[in-house]
Structures are given as structure tokens and as C-alpha cells.
Amino acid sequence: MGELLGVAVLGAGHMGADHIRRLDRVVSGARVAAVADPDPGRAKEAVAGVEAVTVHAEAQAALDAPGVDAVLIASPGPAHEEALLAAFARGLPVLCEKPMVPESAGALRVVEAEARLGRRLAQIGFMRRYDAEYRQLKSLLDSGRLGRPLMLHCVHRNVSSVPGFTSAMLVDSSVVHEIDAARWLLGQEPAAVTVLRPRPSASAPAGLLDPQFVLFETEGGALVDVEVFVNCGFGYQVRCEAVCEAGSARIGEDRAMVVTAEGGARAEVPQDYLVRFADAYDRQVQAWVDATRQGRVTGPSAWDGYAASAVAEAGVRALESGARVTVGLADRPELYGGAGG
Amino acid sequence: MGELLGVAVLGAGHMGADHIRRLDRVVSGARVAAVADPDPGRAKEAVAGVEAVTVHAEAQAALDAPGVDAVLIASPGPAHEEALLAAFARGLPVLCEKPMVPESAGALRVVEAEARLGRRLAQIGFMRRYDAEYRQLKSLLDSGRLGRPLMLHCVHRNVSSVPGFTSAMLVDSSVVHEIDAARWLLGQEPAAVTVLRPRPSASAPAGLLDPQFVLFETEGGALVDVEVFVNCGFGYQVRCEAVCEAGSARIGEDRAMVVTAEGGARAEVPQDYLVRFADAYDRQVQAWVDATRQGRVTGPSAWDGYAASAVAEAGVRALESGARVTVGLADRPELYGGAGG
Amino acid sequence: MGELLGVAVLGAGHMGADHIRRLDRVVSGARVAAVADPDPGRAKEAVAGVEAVTVHAEAQAALDAPGVDAVLIASPGPAHEEALLAAFARGLPVLCEKPMVPESAGALRVVEAEARLGRRLAQIGFMRRYDAEYRQLKSLLDSGRLGRPLMLHCVHRNVSSVPGFTSAMLVDSSVVHEIDAARWLLGQEPAAVTVLRPRPSASAPAGLLDPQFVLFETEGGALVDVEVFVNCGFGYQVRCEAVCEAGSARIGEDRAMVVTAEGGARAEVPQDYLVRFADAYDRQVQAWVDATRQGRVTGPSAWDGYAASAVAEAGVRALESGARVTVGLADRPELYGGAGG
Amino acid sequence: MGELLGVAVLGAGHMGADHIRRLDRVVSGARVAAVADPDPGRAKEAVAGVEAVTVHAEAQAALDAPGVDAVLIASPGPAHEEALLAAFARGLPVLCEKPMVPESAGALRVVEAEARLGRRLAQIGFMRRYDAEYRQLKSLLDSGRLGRPLMLHCVHRNVSSVPGFTSAMLVDSSVVHEIDAARWLLGQEPAAVTVLRPRPSASAPAGLLDPQFVLFETEGGALVDVEVFVNCGFGYQVRCEAVCEAGSARIGEDRAMVVTAEGGARAEVPQDYLVRFADAYDRQVQAWVDATRQGRVTGPSAWDGYAASAVAEAGVRALESGARVTVGLADRPELYGGAGG
């Protein structure tokens, strides 16, 4: 391949710094050309050792920096809409961390802007689509070998929630991953959502409704249930079982070295999504770099980003109301395949 | 131990014949003293090789036959109420196959009759309580090591349904096992039930709502979800995961010899509950025989039989209405521990 | 079935007392008619609660006690030969705990005595043949589905050895189970044996060669390797993988409830063979009682008892010499199928 | 990081072409600067799409090509010695595919040449050291948590052998990986080797002794056993269990999506080492590129390459003689840590 892809990274926090490291030292074919962060000290720290990179306080200045061919948005969610529109204005391909835009209204504006452009520029950071096990499951479902999928049973557990994590965030920050995964695996849009609230765990911070049990019904009549439990205490677990007409398939079982000692056989559970999905993050960025260098846009689209936000918003209303809430999506522009899943 | 316990077996169908074999050849300390079945040919076939047994067309005649010390009811559900009351009238200990009485009103009459007697005579055939894995799970939950249970995720799958199996029977014939297991594991009564109906499998007979997804909320705020799928095609699977405040525990994973051949590692799934729960059936009857010979009554009570019926009835209403249905149980008589779980 | 089988139990130690309990309370169709033990207090304790049983200091007195139809030998190994010959002299069917006779010379005398009788009376207590997983494996190998077996990889681990356990006993007390299992699974006699001695574990008592790695080559060219480790510290494990021309099959993997807590997913390992093989012991005695009541003798024969002793003796010589030792078996009498496996 | 590392790749066959792709498109920080292969058409095909690369018929010409900073040797084994010495003469860091040099005499000459240089330049392609599971196991053993390792049970199976694969190659081409892995995991040199030969599988080509069972005894008294079976028919499996004084640890169990259908639960077995160890190959080359750019040499050394060859040679003699063969290694030069493991 030819020239390295020059990437402007917006945001130099935890996730941004990790992407800078990944672009500089892990993936092939890219280099970090510019970094923007309102905190210049943080940005400088994140680019230590990176050559030929410029540092900026403003996102737009980074987009205009020399050698920038593409943008990776890792700034806080509220800054995404403006950054995406600025990238669109410059014709720059974008990889945007999720949530694409926190409010579905803003997300829809991004979809409409890209639709007006008439070509795709944005890929959204739903990295599970790049996980080896999820891809195996997707491939199996698409093969039709197990017949039509009827149910997805999902589990999403974290050791503990960060301070400030709210009951709504279990839906729109955590379950949003299952929303995208289910839409992708099933090729169907969610039509209604219900959230059940067991009595909270004593390990959850006071006032946090944790765990929750979230149910999606899709347009095609499939059912998706998600246990989300962000203070489970023991590890990071993401499991998914697809129950189909002719069999079921499970991914995300704990897999590791088995140590037999002290009366038991034990496998460690990863403590962190960066461990569980380390390869998926790498593959996602490598796939984006490869496609971008070839002038293509692949991966989850702005429509996927919008749909996930809209469904999550319905989920939060279902959580608050205790009732079943129907999901109303905007019409899907032609750019994203038109009406339907 | 002393004399063999003489057992009258009511019903010589599939289940009755299996219990006759078990009492005659598997468990210790009992013998089949009498068998009743409206079809005398079927009864005679079932007692082939059994010594010193009398055969009757009428249940009550079998109860009055010489050498009868106890009763095992394996006749069709509608005959149970009368048989239980007849056993109570004679002071005979009873092991009654589930459902104790199909309608909760009749089940409540049995509870009230036994409460009037002032002593327990009946044990109900919820054999999962005698399965080694369920007992491990019960013991773990009771130990408090994992904290309070918050959710039970259950799966109940059969290869295919028998002709005549109705949508309601997924709840009151299949899920009724999970109802009892959840009440026993959690020590809590269900307070409300909701049934979700994904689009039926193409493998299900026309008109059968299969699979279903049944949700119970308990008095204590725990959530029990059950996938019931009686035409899953591939095997008989009963799984249960208890998610607690400090960890989760799973039973019912497929466990068998692993054969690696032809590109895969494969473990067989049992095809039948008589295989999966063979030991539980044996242990249940042995435990009943042992307790009865010692003049004790242990195991699931008539109250458990009534509660399972009442909750299953609420489940069928929830299935039919599509809405959440609250469960109203009668007051629990003192004989069964009084109010509360 | 008719009258209960009256069993004389010889030996009221740990194993004898367990068999008395099993005959009295677990298996169907038998009763304990007499017990013999040189220590009458121990014998009386073991029969507490058993009705109509006589207690004896001498084995032969127990064989002659009223109501004795069959014999279960659970006395120490050196007493077995005399007890077996006494049972043969009376025409009594016998279940004899392993080792049938500790020295192969004595074992061969038992074989010859039974051969002279011209009919089988003895079954030897190799209870693994009654374990559900071993039976699955045997059935798979016999089916020919995986082609010819080429290798068996075996593991046999105990938490810790009892005081007085010698290096030779790893072979003739522990590995003797694998010797019988391999002969049965493969249908081939061992032809040579080699014992490798890794540096002993610091957890083993001083002077004990533990673990050992024992290799058998069979007449048919199959290879059987056994890790025996009687001070492994963590549990009781018996595993077996049969590697065949068209696939491999594994049994004995740790199977139990999986508890996920404190950063790991953990399944308990049984601590004791009485836990791991509890069902096998019950099934073995039930099968013996059932066959005996029908006038049949099934299960491992006196020849199997002799062959296991002879191979174990070769194993001990291999351990002591560090060299490969060939196994020389006597000619197999017609009663046991004549020459060959 | 700064300039891309310019790599000369020697050999453009299956493995060389894969490394060219890896350097060009997967790993970060490197570029393919030159390629040498006696077949210029093959070399040209392998560099299709790679920019700024020169193609050569002679290895030495590639080493002297502009922009070459380091060498990756993927030519046939007999060409390695000359290529390594040529790289040493130019002071170029090398990643050399295994076997470093097929004959241990030649391997020792490479060790001595590098020792004379007085600094390490060569890393040998034992990629299992970069596999995540092997690294977990190494880290666990090094921690001492399980006490001293006593035995390694290894399995190495391939679907089928390529034409021309000889009985000796089971040892020196296949088991050589276990030789290196065992040396690395245990930190001990093998002291003796024995090879057992079960009757060959009917699936093996006529005359091929397949499977074999290879036993290594180490200087420290540990025992390493390896089943090698290159025509197992069902997949590619590499397993390792380390049995230690206080527990055992297992890696390489089949891990994948579990599909339950048609009466069984099934996980696919990879068919190819490029699937099983795909990540290990990537990580190995990335680690080599990273270290080389920092002027460091890490990973398996020329001494490891020599020791593996010498032990494999002893293994082949053991295979041929049927006897236990002691391993005699040369004195270890100071450059590699001097005498001892």
C-alpha cells in the first residue's frame, strides 16, 4: 500500500489516547497527523513519542492541519455532531466513537446531512461487529443453517459503575451495544421496548436501578432480552445466545486457561471491556484504515448510530414509565438502503 | 429397616408403569402392593413380574387392598383431587404426580382438607428438587455466599410437543416446573406474571405459540425469566442461572462425553426428561419411601402444589391477554408455615 | 421380583459398612442376612437398624448362616482367596471387592478353582465399568464410529495419600483401576509396562515416588498412559481420553455447577472417589443383585481380577527396575472365553 | 515512533508471502523493502501492491538493497545458516523462521558466530511464545502460585500430513514446537528422550509411524509427554496441561461458539495452525519490529534454535532405536546466559 493515512484524532482522554497509541503502534497503514483537545497538556501527553504530529485546542483546527486525510472522533458525545458536520463539510472520512450523537434528534440531523452529501463518510464505533465471536455468530445466522432467529438472550455485566452513572445510562450507555448488536445480527429494527426493574443489588450505589432487564420486540417478531448489571462485582461479561428454529448458538462464554487448584477448576473472567474486546478495537480501526485508504466506507453507518440512539431513548422512557414503549424511527434515507431492515 | 412399604399405585400409564418398575426394582424398602387403572389390561401389563400385587379398576379399591401402606398417584390430573381426599380419609401418605390438581380451586380444596386433618400426608412430584444440580444451587443460595438472588434466567426446551399440546400447556404443563423450582430456590412467592410471544417457530404445529418467554416478579422483587420452547428440535434442555448480588451460578449446562471428530468437538444433548432427570425420579421416590417408613412427610407440600397451579393459571391469563397479571394466592394455612414464603 | 436376596457381607470396615448401608437402604431386591468381622463391635455398629441379620466373627460362619443366598466380600485383600474358595465350595454367587487377590499367584488359583467348577460365580468390584461416562465411552468404542483406538490418555489424582501408602501402591492400588478400565475399553491385554518417575512433589510424604507416569503397550499395539498423582492436593480426578483413528472422546472432565464470583468462573472438583463414583457403586451392586436373583453372573470376572493383579505386578517391577517389563499372563481358561481378549 | 523499519524478506513461498502481507498490512512500523526468492515470478506475485520494494534472486543482494534495516528469513531450512551468517556479517537484526538450522551442527555454528559478535541479532520464529494462552501459562508457572511443575501433558494434532512427511518429521518438524515450548515454560533443558510407537492409524500414509508418543525428561526431573498425531483427521489441536505441586493448568482446549443443534452441542475445531495461531504470528512480528526499532533483541534466541534442533535430533534417534536417548547439549555461551537453563 502507499502513503500512510494521516488521521486527526479529536479528544485525548482515555479512549482518545488509546486510539492514538493504536494508530501509532498497532495498526498498519496509518499515522497520527493531528490531535485536538481543549486541554493541551493532556493532548501533548497522549502524543509523546509520536512523530510529525500537530496539537490543537480546537477540533476544526486539527481537521485543517497539514497531512490530515481522515478523522477519528473520540471527544465527549455532546461534541460529536459539530465534529461530524465539520468533517462532512471537508469531505473527510470519519470513525466516530459511540454514541454518534447522544440525542436522537441530533443523530438524525447527522444522517440527513450525510444523505444530502449523497455518499457515506462516517463509520460509527460499534466495535462488537469486529469481535471474532460476534462475527462467527453473524455468519452462522446469515447462513440460514439454524433457520430464522426467534430470540436473543443477552447478558452485559460490569464489575462496578463509575461515579455519576445513572439508571438511564444502563440503557443508553450499556445496553446501546446490545441494541446495535441485535439490529446487526437480526437485520431487523426494534419495534417496542420494556424494562423490568428487579430490586436493586445491595452492591449498587443508592438510587441506582441495577440490574435491569430490558426486552426488545423487533419488527419481524423476534424477542431480545438483555440483563444489564453494572455492579455485578466479579467481572466483565458479554454473552449472547441466539435461539433459532433449528438450534441455538452461544458466544461470550468465559474462555481462558483453566487452573485446577484448591478444590476447584477455575477460569478467570476479564475485568474490563478493553481486555474482552481488545482485538475488536484493533480490528475495527485496522478495517477502517484499510477501507479508507481504498476510498471505501464500510462498517456501521450514521443510520446505525441514529437508530441505536432512538431505540435507547425509547428504552429510557420505558425504564421511567414502567410500561412498554413503541419505537418510532424516521424513514431511512436511500443512502442507507431505504425503508426496511 | 423393617417391613417393606406396601404402595398402591394409581394409574398404569407411561408414568405409572415407570413408577411401578422403580418401586419394584430400583428403590429400596418398598414393594408394589396394589395397582389401579380403568384399563385392566394396561394394569396387568405394568405389573408383569411383580409378586403379591393386586390389580383394580377403581382407585379406592386399590387403597383398601391388603398390604397397602401408602399411595403413589400417577393417574391423569383430573382424577387427583378425589384420590388425594380418599387417601387423606384413610390416613395414607401420598406421593402425587404433578399437577397436584389442574385447577387451583380444586388444589385449594386439597390444601384445606389436609389443613383440617392437621398433619401432612401429601408430597407432590416436583422431582427437580431431587436433582443433584438443583440441590447444589439451592444449597449455595441458602448459604448466602453469593448474597441475595436478583434474577433467575431459565431455559426449558423439548425436542417436539406431543399432539394436542396447546399454547396454554407451555405455561401450565412445562413452565410449572420452573414455577416450583423458582419458589423453592428463592423462598418467595410470584406476585405477577407476563408472557411474551415471539413469532412462532416454523417447526411448531400451526397455531401453537411456541416459543414463549415468561416473566415472574416475586414478592421480594426478584425477577424470573423462562424461555419455554417445546419444539426446539435438538434436545431436552433445562438450564438455570441464578444472578445474585455477589456472583452468579449456573446449572444444566450440557455435560457429557466430548467427542472430537469431523471438524468439531461435540457433546450429546439428552433427548428426553427421563434421561436428564432419571436420577431425580429415583431419588424422589427413594426419599419418599424412606421418610414414609419413618412416619415423616418431607418434600414439596400440597401448598406447593396449589401455589404452582395458581401461578400457572395467572400465567395462562397473561398469555391470553398479553398483559401483566398479578397473582393472588390464598392465605397459607399454619400447617404449611403460615403467611409468607 | 420374588424373595429378597439374602447377602452375607464379609468385612465391616469402611467399605463393608458402606455396602451394608447400600444393600439395606439403596438397592432394590436384597437384604443383609449375615455379617462377619473379626471385630464384633465394628460388625454390630455396621448393622445397627438392619433387621433379621446375624453377626459372626468368622467368614465361613456367615456363609452358613440362615437366609444367605450370596456373598459380598469387603474384607482385607489377604482374606479374599479363602473367602472366594469357601463361597465356590458352597455354590454361592460372590461380589468381591478389588483386589480380588493381592498376589497374582493366588488370583490364578481362584481362576483355576472357578474354571474347575465349570461355571462363573464371582464378580469383581471394578466399579468404573458401571460409571455412566465410562459406559458411554465403551459403547462409543464398541460402535466402531471412531475407528480403532490408538491411545488412551488417563489421569488419576487424589487429594492426598493415606499414611503407609507406598510407591508400589500407586501402581497396584491406584493404577489397577486404569488397568482394568483399559483392558475392558480396548478388549486387549497389556503386553508391556514402563513406569517413569518425575522428581516427586514436595507435597508427597518423604520417600514416596509421587507422581508416576505409567505406560502400557497392549497386544494390539495400543498405548495407554496414566498419570497417577496421589498427593495432588486439589481433588479427586479421573479422566480418560481415547484417541482413535477417526476422532477422540474424553470423559471425566470436571462437571458441576459453575459459580462466577470474585473474578473467576469456578466449578468444584470432588474430593473423594465415593463422591465421583457414588452412582457407579450403587449401580454395580444393583446390577449384581439383579443378575444374581435371575441366576446369572455378569460383570468383571475372576479372570479380570487375575489379569489386573498380574499386570499390576509387572508394573511394580517396572517401577522398581526403571525398565520396560513384559507382561506374561497365564492361558485363559475356556470359562472366560479362551485365549485372546 | 520514527521511520518505518525496512525489512528484507528471504523466501516468497507460503510462509514468506504471509509475512510480506503481515509486514505490509498488519503490523505497525515496518515496510517490506526487499524480497529474495530463486523464483522471481513467485517473488513478484508476493509483492503485488507493495510499494517501493525491490525483488532479487539472491538473498545477499536483498540484504544489500537500499532501505534494508532488518531481515526476515522464510526460505527453506537448508538456506538459513548462510543467510544468518550473512545478516550477522552486516550487523542486521534477523527474525528467522524455525527450524533455525535443520542440523544441530550447523545450528551450533550460528550460535558460535553470534557469540563471537558479542551481541544478539537473531530471534527464532517459535511463535507459540507469543500466543495469549501460552503466555498466561508461562506467567502462572513463573509466579510460583502452583509450586514447581512436575509434568507437561501435550497434544499436537494435524488433520493430515503433507506428501513426503516422514516419521522423523513428526519429531523434528512437529514436536520441535513442544520442545521449545517446554524449555521455555519450564526453564529447563531436556536430558533424555524416548519415543513410543503405537500401531499406526489406518488413516496415515503407508509406512508413516503416526501417531507417536514422545517423552522428555528434563535436567530438573520434570516429565514432558507429547502425543503427536499428524493424520488425526478432525482438526488442528495444540493442548498443554502443566501439572504442578499445588495444582494444574490447561490451555488449548477447544474454544469457540457453541452451536446446539441436531441432538448435540458442538464447537468447531480449527483446521489449520494459521487459524489457531494467527494472532501469535501477528504478535511475534509486531514484537520483533517494535524491539528492532528500539535497537533491542528479544524473543527466542539462536541458542533456543540450536537446543531445539539438538533435542529433536536426539528424538529422531530415539524414534529409530526404540530406546531412551540422552541429550547432550554444547556449553551455553555467556551471550545466552551461560551454563544452565
A311-324 tens-digit pLDDT: 999 999 999 999 99
Instruction: Test C137 with B257 for CB contact under 8 angstroms.
Output: yes
Low-confidence ranges of chain D (pLDDT < 70): 1-2, 254-255, 338-341
If you search the block for the grid coordinates 463393608, which residue do you land on?
A: C16
Indicate whether A340 belongs to any domain: no
If you search the block for the grid coordinates 454361592, which residue do you land on?
A: C92
User: B287 with B237, same domain?
Assistant: no
User: B49 with B157, same domain?
Assistant: no
Q: What angle do CA B282, B286, B287 make, to 5 degrees?
A: 115
pLDDT of residue A264: 87
Measured between alpha carbons, how far is D35 from D81 in angstroms, rounded to an integer? 18
Mean pLDDT of A138-157: 96
Identify the CA nearest to C174 among candidates C207, C128, C107.
C128
pLDDT at C339 over 70: no
From the list A24, A249, A258, the residue facing D253 with the nearest CB is: A258
pLDDT at C129 over 90: yes
pLDDT at A340 over 50: no
Instruction: Test D203 with C248 for CB contact under 8 angstroms.
Output: no
- Cβ-based contacts of B227 with chain A (< 8 Å): 151, 153, 243
C158 vs B337 pLDDT, higher one: C158
Q: Which helix (H) or strand (E) holds A241?
A: strand A237-244
Single pTM value for the model: 0.93
CB contact at 8 A, B126 and B300 = yes
From the list D235, D237, D263, the residue facing B269 with the nearest CB is: D263
Which of B154, B227, B266 best probes binding to A when mutated, by most A CB atoms within 10 angstroms?
B227
Instruction: Test C247 with B261 for CB contact under 8 angstroms.
Output: yes
pLDDT band, residue A338 (cuts 50/70/90): low
Indicate whether D18 belongs to any domain: yes
Over the Cα atoms of chain A, what is R_g? Answer: 20
CB atoms within 10 A of CB B73: 27
pLDDT of residue B262: 84
D244-295 tens-digit pLDDT: 999 999 999 866 788 888 888 888 888 888 788 999 999 999 999 999 999 9
- Cβ-based contacts of A235 with chain C (< 8 Å): 260, 263-264
- Cβ-based contacts of D232 with chain C (< 8 Å): 243, 247-248
pLDDT band, residue C135 (cuts 50/70/90): very high
> Cα-flanking dihedrals φ and ψ of residue C224, to 5°?
-120, 120
pLDDT of residue A171: 97
pLDDT at A277 over 50: yes
- Cβ-based contacts of A271 with chain C (< 8 Å): 263
CB contact at 8 A, A26 and A282 = yes
CB atoms within 10 A of CB B94: 30
B181-199 tens-digit pLDDT: 999 999 999 999 999 999 9
Nearest-10 Cα torsion for D148, D149, D150, D153? 170
User: D224 with D295, same domain?
Assistant: no
pLDDT at A13 over 50: yes
Q: Which residues, other chains included, contact B62 with Cβ-Cβ below 8 Å and sequence gap of 6+?
A: B8, B9, B10, B34, B35, B36, B54, B56, B68
- Cβ-based contacts of B233 with chain A (< 8 Å): 245-247
Distance from CA of B245 to the nearest CA of C (A): 10
A264 vs C93 pLDDT, higher one: C93
pLDDT of residue A75: 97
pLDDT of residue B274: 79
Instruction: Test D257 with A146 for CB contact under 8 angstroms.
Output: no
Is C49 an interface residue toward A (CB < 8 Å)?
A: no
Output the CA torsion sign for B169, B173, B178, B180: positive
Indicate whether B99 belongs to any domain: yes
Give the distance from CA A250 to its chain's centroid.
21
Distance from CA of D283 to the nearest CA of A (A): 10
**DSSP alpha helix (H) spans, D118-154:** 132-143
Measured between alpha carbons, how far is D307 from D104 in angstroms, rounded to an integer? 8
The answer to which of A169-173, C23-27, D312-316, D335-339 has the lowest mean pLDDT is D335-339
User: B219 with B285, same domain?
Assistant: no
Instruction: Test D255 with A258 for CB contact under 8 angstroms.
Output: no
- Cβ-based contacts of D51 with chain A (< 8 Å): 1-2
Q: Which residues, other chains included, contact A17 with Cβ-Cβ below 8 Å and sequence gap of 6+?
A: A45, A46
pLDDT of residue D340: 40
From the list C25, C248, C257, the residue facing B133 with the nearest CB is: C257
Low-confidence ranges of chain B (pLDDT < 70): 1-2, 254-255, 338-341
From the list A49, A137, A261, the residue facing D146 with the nearest CB is: A261
User: A97 with A74, same domain?
Assistant: yes
pLDDT at A1 over 80: no
From the list D1, D51, D249, the residue facing A49 with the nearest CB is: D1
Q: Which helix (H) or strand (E) holds A63?
A: helix A59-63
Measured between alpha carbons, how far is C239 from C226 in angstroms, rounded to an integer? 10
pLDDT at C47 over 50: yes
A63-107 tens-digit pLDDT: 999 999 999 999 999 999 999 999 999 999 999 999 999 999 999
From the list D133, D249, D262, the residue facing A259 with the nearest CB is: D249
Is C255 an interface residue toward B (CB < 8 Å)?
A: yes
User: A315 with A329, same domain?
Assistant: yes
Please name every residue paired with B19 in a beta bridge, in sequence order, or none if there are none: none
pLDDT of residue D263: 85
Instruction: Test C198 with D222 for CB contact under 8 angstroms.
Output: yes
Q: Which residues, other chains included, contact A217 with Cβ-Cβ below 8 Å and sequence gap of 6+?
A: A190, A191, A192, A193, A223, A224, B196, B198
pLDDT of residue C340: 39
- Cβ-based contacts of B260 with chain D (< 8 Å): 234-235, 237, 254, 269
pLDDT of residue B340: 40
Describe the strand order of the beta sheet including A30-36 as a list of residue ranges. Answer: A54-56, A30-36, A5-10, A70-73, A94-96, A122-124
Q: In chain A, how many domains are there? A: 2
From the list A234, A254, A263, the residue facing C262 with the nearest CB is: A234
pLDDT band, residue C276 (cuts 50/70/90): confident
DSSP states along D94-105: EEEPSSSSSSHH
Q: Which residues, other chains included, contact A144 with Cβ-Cβ below 8 Å and sequence gap of 6+?
A: none
- Residue type (1 letter), A173: S
pLDDT band, residue C263 (cuts 50/70/90): confident
3-class state of residue A239 by DSSP:
strand
Indicate whether B341 belongs to any domain: no
A220-254 tens-digit pLDDT: 999 999 999 999 999 999 999 999 999 999 999 86
User: C147 with C109, same domain?
Assistant: no
Indicate whether C341 belongs to any domain: no
> Cα-flanking dihedrals φ and ψ of residue B267, to 5°?
-120, 135
User: C65 with C180, same domain?
Assistant: no
Q: What is the CATH number of the domain that holds C108?
A: 3.40.50.720
Q: What is the CATH number of the domain that holds A315?
A: 3.30.360.10
Distance from CA of D233 to the nearest CA of B (A): 7
Is B257 an interface residue toward D (CB < 8 Å)?
A: no
Q: What phi-psi label fits residue A161: left (phi over 0), alpha (psi between -120 and 50 degrees) or beta? A: beta
**Which residue does chain D place closest to B232, by CA atoms?**
D261
Is A339 an interface residue toward D (CB < 8 Å)?
A: no
Measured between alpha carbons, how far is B293 from B23 in angstroms, rounded to an integer? 14
The boundaries of the domain holding residue C11 are 5-128+280-300
User: D310 with D174, same domain?
Assistant: yes
Is C271 an interface residue toward A (CB < 8 Å)?
A: yes
CB contact at 8 A, B19 and B10 = no
pLDDT of residue C1: 43
What part of D 150-179 touches C (C-beta under 8 Å)?
150-151, 153
User: B229 with B293, same domain?
Assistant: no
- Cβ-based contacts of A233 with chain B (< 8 Å): 245-247
Indicate whether B217 belongs to any domain: yes
3-class state of residue A92 by DSSP:
coil
Measured between alpha carbons, how far is C213 from C230 in angstroms, rounded to an integer? 12
Indicate whether A203 belongs to any domain: yes
- Cβ-based contacts of B268 with chain D (< 8 Å): 263-265
Q: Report chain A's mean pLDDT, rounded to a whole number.
A: 95
What part of D 96-155 touches A (C-beta under 8 Å)?
133, 136-137, 140, 145-146
Q: Which residues, other chains included, contact B206 with Cβ-Cβ below 8 Å and sequence gap of 6+?
A: none
**Which residue does chain C place closest to B52, by CA atoms?**
C2
3-state secondary structure chain C: CCCCEEEEEECCCHHHHHHHHHHHHCCCCEEEEEEECCCHHHHHHHCCCCCCCEEECCHHHHHCCCCCCEEEECCCHHHHHHHHHHHHHHCCCEEECCCCCCCHHHHHHHHHHHHHHCCCCEEECCHHHHCHHHHHHHHHHHHCCCCCEEEEEEEEECCCCCCCCCHHHHHHHHHHHHHHHHHHHHCCCEEEEEEECCCCCCCCCCCCCCCEEEEEEECCCCEEEEEEECCCCCCCEEEEEEEECCEEEEECCCCCCEEEECCEEEEECCCCHHHHCHHHHHHHHHHHHHHHHCCCCCCCCHHHHHHHHHHHHHHHHHHHHCCCEECCCCCCCHHHCCCCC
pLDDT band, residue C329 (cuts 50/70/90): very high
Measured between alpha carbons, how far is residue D321 from residues B149, C338, D228 in Å?
A: 63, 35, 18
Distance from CA of C268 to the nearest CA of D (A): 13
Distance from CA of A202 to the nearest CA of D (A): 33
pLDDT at A2 over 60: no
pLDDT of residue C103: 94
Indicate whether C168 belongs to any domain: yes
User: C178 with C311, same domain?
Assistant: yes
User: A248 with A288, same domain?
Assistant: no
From the list A26, A137, A255, the residue facing D255 with the nearest CB is: A255
Mean pLDDT of A303-330: 97
Q: Report chain C's mean pLDDT, rounded to a whole number.
A: 95
pLDDT of residue A254: 66
